[in-house]
Structure 1
């Protein structure tokens, strides 16, 4: 084999290696996911039409039209069979907000690089038991992209999967008009647009929400307040000095969720939204607590204003025999008892 032939052969070989490496990397960058739509339980919405596209405006999938959406802000919705494995770059979505009696449209770019980075980072989960009966931690990543719609045209996008959820971005929809005959499956030519809104409001919006709207209006802005981050952690004031928090699973009002997998992670201060629901695993016992959003926002805002840049502790104090849990919030030397939380139960022993 002469020198020129040898050079060509080496070039082809290296090119094949490079192509194989690129192919493998390309395959690794494919993260399959389903798309879901969610909304606050009190403020139902319904998709008119929506699509996700890539950076070349090529269709990836639709936003599921799965009927009325009111699955709560902190939970994912129905996927309706819509999804893809290409990282989306753009969202175009039109939907009706029944409590507001209007249609909204969002037509905006998504932070593709941030989504890709979150997919790459993923999270750790407990896998299947090994030969010793232990559950080893394994790498995993997100498998759902959830779009949330709240009053005021607030749109928040999350990645979620296996009890983990991270915010991707917050977008702003604009009020738009859609003829109800283009939206409804059954067309009633005698029904006006206003009658459509009023009937939908009557049927789909909970009576308790109607009363709140009548008394105080829709709480515009609250979903953005949920997104404010505070530096805090959970601290156990144990009845038994040997007790400690071993693990925490938390869901925050901003829709994010995840595990603090060990005592070291629990002891570390984090920038987080206010807690909605937290499951505490102690040495022998475990409990589940639901927090009141207005109480937590009020206390955290006051402490943040009074003690700028100082971290906050949410303190859990078990009573005798762990029959009950008392909770308080402390910053510096100031401690404020919580009054509106609910303990679902205490188990173990």
Structure 2
């Protein structure tokens, strides 16, 4: 009988531990605070950039994806991001990690930017009721969510919009101080000099863009105060 009672206690302890583990897993997953959203980078045509790193740090400490195909393929237009798509619901972002190089300025920029987490959370919480969620592509079927657009303007200025159906909100404006590149930044198949690196990563710039830059197009532009094309 004593052995049976001891065995029951062991089973009870195991059951309690399993319940606690499940509860912790559900708490960490935070199902009620996960949403569908997409994110991408935009830059002015006459201020081409190459993004070395772009991503979110989410509220649970995990990494979030930010698309950079458009700008890195040198197909950027200010205010237009990549095609919105997502894989799954995720926690909301609290920081943006951004590392890029500007061709026109011949400078490197890197920073981890704090996002207005409470504002973002409040917008997402009311987004369904407010009717501002937009269609986002997800394999199998489209889902409803919001879109982060990260505008990398000239002179190290960064502008972040949150966009939805007939909705757009400027979340923040931030300025990054230029820096000297590290050796790791200049690795592109092999270690290059700064001049070689610039030539390599921007080798696919179109002739028309180069002509505009040479002619001084938009040299006094202040893109940080301009609008996106979302509501036009």
* TM superposition score category, shorter chain reference: 0.5 to 0.7
Q: Could you say which residue in structure 2 is the equivalent of 1:60?
A: 63
CA distance in 1, matches of 2:159, 2:193: 32
Structure number with the higher strand fraction is 1
The residue number in structure 1 matching 2:224 is 224
> How far apart are 1:95 and its partner, in Å?
0.9
Alpha-carbon distance, 1:192 to partner? 2.6
Give structure 2 stretches of 5+ with no counterpart.
1-22, 135-142
Q: Answer yes or no: is 1:197 the counterpart of 2:198.
A: yes
**Aligned with residue 49 of structure 2, among 35, 45, 49:** 45
What residue is the counterpart of 1:155 in the other structure?
158
Unmatched 5+ stretches in structure 1: 1-18, 128-139, 227-253, 259-276, 278-349
The aligned runs of 1:149-188 (5 Å cut-off) are: 149-162=152-165, 164-179=167-182, 182-187=185-190
**Residue pair 1:43, 1:150 contacting (<8 A) in 2 also:** yes
Choose 1 or 2 for highest CA Rg. 1
User: Under a length normalisation based on structure 1, what TM-score does the superposition of the two structures give?
Assistant: 0.46
Structure 2: distance between partners of 1:47 and 1:38: 11
Aligned residue number for residue 300 of structure 1: none
Q: 1:91 aligns with which of 81, 96, 99?
A: 96
Q: Which residue of 1 aligns with 2:214?
A: 214
Closer, same or farther in 2 for the Cα pair 1:78/1:167, shift >3 Å? same
Q: Contact (CA 8 Å) 1:165, 1:256: kept in 2 or not?
A: no
Q: What residue in structure 2 maps to residue 124 of structure 1? A: 131
Q: 1:71 to 1:163 in 2, by over 3 A?
A: farther
Contact kept, 8 Å, 1:44 with 1:97, in 2: the verdict is yes
Paired residues of 1:61 and 1:83 also in contact (CA < 8 A):
no
Q: Is the 8 A contact 1:166 1:257 kept in 2?
A: no
**Residues 327-338 of structure 1: pairs in structure 2 closer than 5 A:** none
Cα deviation code 1:88-135 (max 9, x no counterpart) = 1112211112222221112221101111122233343799xxxxxxxx
**TM-score, normalized by length of structure 2?**
0.65
RMSD: 3.6
Q: 1:44 Cα deviation (Å)? A: 2.2
> Hey, which of these two has a bigger chunk of helix by percent?
2
1:37–1:78 contact (8 Å) kept in structure 2: no
The answer as to 2:104 corresponding to 1:104 is no
